[in-house]
Structure 1
Amino acid sequence: MTLKVGEKVVVQRPHFQQLFEKLVQQGYQIVGPTVQNKAIVYAELDSSDELPEGWADEQNNASYRLKKREDESLFGYVVGPHSWKNFLFPANLQMWRTDAGLSSFQESAEPPPKYAFMGVRACELHAIHIQDKVFLQGNYVDSDYRKKRENLFIVAVNCTEPGGTCFCSSMRTGPQVESGFDIALTEVCEDSEHYFVMEAGSDVGVKILQKIPHKTEAPAEIEKASRLVRQADEQMGRTLATEGLKELLYRNTENPRWEEVANRCLTCSNCTMVCPTCFCSRVEDVTELDGASAERWRKWDSCFIVEYSYIKGGAVRPSVHSRYRQWLTHKLAAWHDQFGTSGCVGCGRCITWCPVGIDLTEEALAIRQSELAR
């Protein structure tokens, strides 16, 4: 029986490794979650054995800890410090290299890998779509991003257990993926059962899924998976009131709350580094000591760094409160004007990895409440 896009099937745990094998046979380099340095990070994987089987994460303000689960779930965590932009929009990218006489000029040499992302959450899939708007749909297309994105295969994962800092429900970005994937799966690991409800979201996904042993008529298994996702939607760790938020922030550029948060903010830029949508960068030219060659590199930067807004005569945003205000207002308000969407997907990383536990949902609420109290 030939599968169709949108059709759901059940794949038992012993057959999950075949998903890896079929992707490798198609020339994909698989990138997915694994445990490194007491955190779940994204790295190149050779086997499903490298997935974080039996691990979960506990997250709260400025707190991230791994703990062992009571089952053998492969995707029983939420998100770690890495996001998929590490691979599509790398922190360090060589743009070109040339010799002193300009007789040779070489752009970024090696062709980009043909990636298959394994374990993309709904919020993260929205983040990739947002970066598509930034790098592919404006007047200037990022050629490196485009090359990596064109060959990308996405295996998305529906969330069944949200983390303590998650608020994707508020942003309408999860916990269930809706589009933009090649294969989406929901993992069920309970009552001695361990299987995956998989759905093909593209013709390429159909071809891969068709080659893996699966069960097509499985209404009970599919309903159990759907129930777990519905439960996750009701158990979010945070909420953010988005109605009128853009206008609220625009009206409150001089709200004293900005100074209050500035007294806690370290301007370390952790929030922007872990954010799956932030895209600030700088360009550096590097010359060899002997002057024989030069290189141009693009590197991640952050609006929290005072030098980022430096122009002749000084920085545009010299104070901490002006930089925090810039980040939050751009993320939750001005992004709508630029790209037609919020810059936040509710993944909660900025809350978890802020050393002092600043919570953007609390800051937005505080500004809203202060306006109501006037």
Structure 2
Amino acid sequence: MAETQVGEQVLLDRRGLDALLQALRRARYRVMGPTLRDQAVVYDEVRSVADLPEGWTDEQEGGTYRLKKRDDAALFGYILSPHSWKQFLFPPRHKLWSADRNGRGMDITPCEDDAPRYAFLGVRACELHAIRIQDKVFLEGPHVDPIYKAHRERVFIIAAQCTQAGNTCFCASMNSGPKAESGFDLALTEIIGKTTSHFVVEVGSPAGARMLSKVSVKKAKAADTAQAAQARDSAVQQMGRAMQSGDLRDLLQNNYEHPRWNIVANRCLACANCTMACPTCFCSSVENVTDLTGDHAERWRSWDSCFTLDFSYIHGGNVRHSTMSRYRQWMTHKLSTWHDQFESSGCVGCGRCITWCPVGIDITEEVAAIREAPPAPNRKEEDPS
């Protein structure tokens, strides 16, 4: 079969998609994609097209997630999984090293990182932006994270273009979607029918072209690409949220004493759901554990959150002991000071923090409230609370 070129668009039917999945598996990739489990669409191992959530979507609102049956046969007709791809690149829990007593001291054994060859299937545009943000955090600068690097280098990405948006989506406001422009090896736009669907596939990398050459495809015609573009454009009109983002850095830095922080703190449970669901949050902590003999010890890295009381502990006490100060830290970092650290926003508009907040706190609503209400003058020194 002839190899396609980067930037070329071709047609793929369901049998072709299944053949692509099998080709990835033969290449020793572990294909991870959308599946149905625990009354949700979750990313798990996909062995064939039959594992995909055909005919299902999800309804999302503040503090609400529900599966709903569609009236067609869409494979990628859901909005977003509760979990992000972060879980595969930046594992929630990872052993760093172990130590064993040997009579003369300790033998230290670094953890050999046997990173799987993952193929991500169904990555949305906002999630591609989130991966790029974490690339900047973990791979750029003088301190490269070896665990993230090992996982990231072995990933093959198949994007799924959004053809439908949800009530908590606002990626258009953050310039991160709904169309995936780059960062993928292949990108699928699903053309949905009543009983089946097919795909317009854009080749995004030489690796994607090589993999696509292993299956039977047809060259897309102008009518096919126009239909795909129309399907993608429809998602922009369906977004349930919006955020004026151009001036967020300065807006929040000029409003550290805004009364809205106390209002939202009265609702916030400091449960850390928003940071666990967020595809860009990267806070972590390390812990040492030993066996009962004291002869073996291990060091583990685990996800943490700026919402936990102990996260800001330094010698002498906690820097942020109130819920208000912790919520303010999260939101101002995500939307404002992230620009100073990484030259971009830390938010991609996926809306997960809204959906999975137990009390439905809405980050777009909080920004709007700070923008509209008169600000309180900032004090010269930060309130230690």
| TM-score bracket for this pair, using the shorter chain length | over 0.9
| Corresponding residue for residue 95 of structure 1 | 96
What displacement does 1:214 show? 1.2
| Corresponding residue for residue 158 of structure 2 | 155
Aligned partner letter, 2:275: T
| Corresponding residue for residue 354 of structure 1 | 357
| Corresponding residue for residue 129 of structure 1 | 132
User: Which of 315, 319, 323 does residue 320 from structure 1 map onto?
Assistant: 323
Aligned partner letter, 2:186: I
More divergent stretch after superposition (249-258 vs 236-245): 236-245
| Corresponding residue for residue 80 of structure 1 | 81
What displacement does 1:371 show? 3.2
- Please show how residues 40-55 of structure 1 align to structure 2 within 5 Å: 40-55=41-56
| Corresponding residue for residue 234 of structure 2 | 231
What displacement does 1:110 show? 4.9
What displacement does 1:217 show? 3.9
Conservation of the 8 A alpha-carbon contact between 2:74 and 2:193: no
User: Which of 267, 270, 275 does residue 273 from structure 2 map onto?
Assistant: 270
What displacement does 1:215 show? 1.2
Q: Which TM-score applies when normalising by structure 1?
A: 0.97
C-alpha separation in 2, matches of 1:371 and 1:212: 60
1:257 matched to 2:260: yes
Write the deviation string for residues 56-77 of structure 1: whole angstroms up to 9, x where unpaired.
Answer: 0000000000011111111000
C-alpha separation in 2, matches of 1:205 and 1:341: 28
Aligned partner letter, 1:255: H
What displacement does 1:80 show? 1.8
User: Which of 119, 123, 138 does residue 120 from structure 1 map onto?
Assistant: 123
| Corresponding residue for residue 310 of structure 1 | 313
Aligned partner letter, 2:265: A
C-alpha separation in 2, matches of 1:158 and 1:342: 22
C-alpha separation in 1, matches of 2:147 and 2:189: 32
C-alpha separation in 1, matches of 2:375 and 2:314: 38
| Corresponding residue for residue 289 of structure 1 | 292
| Corresponding residue for residue 216 of structure 2 | 213
Write the deviation string for residues 315-344 of structure 1: whole angstroms up to 9, x where unpaired.
Answer: 100111100000000000000000011000
C-alpha separation in 2, matches of 1:54 and 1:86: 26
Aligned partner letter, 2:160: V
C-alpha separation in 1, matches of 2:238 and 2:53: 23
Write the deviation string for residues 241-297 of structure 1: whole angstroms up to 9, x where unpaired.
Answer: 012111000000000000000000000000000000000000000011111200000
From the superposition, tell whether residues 193 and 292 of structure 1 become closer, same or farther in structure 2 (CA, over 3 Å).
Answer: closer
Conservation of the 8 A alpha-carbon contact between 2:72 and 2:195: no
What displacement does 1:345 show? 0.3
| Corresponding residue for residue 190 of structure 2 | 187
What displacement does 1:220 show? 1.4
From the superposition, tell whether residues 286 and 191 of structure 1 become closer, same or farther in structure 2 (CA, over 3 Å).
Answer: closer
Q: Percent identity?
A: 54
Q: Which TM-score applies when normalising by structure 2?
A: 0.94
| Corresponding residue for residue 245 of structure 1 | 248
Aligned partner letter, 2:109: Q
| Corresponding residue for residue 34 of structure 2 | 33
1:371 matched to 2:374: yes
C-alpha separation in 2, matches of 1:3 and 1:311: 55
From the superposition, tell whether residues 217 and 326 of structure 1 become closer, same or farther in structure 2 (CA, over 3 Å).
Answer: closer
Conservation of the 8 A alpha-carbon contact between 2:283 and 2:305: yes
What displacement does 1:373 show? 11
What displacement does 1:103 show? 4.7
C-alpha separation in 2, matches of 1:372 and 1:296: 45
- 3-state SS, counterpart of residue 66 of structure 2: strand
Question: CA RMSD for the aligned pairs?
Answer: 1.5
Q: Unaligned 5+ residue runs, structure 2? A: 378-385
Aligned partner letter, 1:209: L
C-alpha separation in 2, matches of 1:80 and 1:191: 23
| Corresponding residue for residue 177 of structure 1 | 180
C-alpha separation in 1, matches of 2:246 and 2:219: 41
Q: Unaligned 5+ residue runs, structure 1? A: none
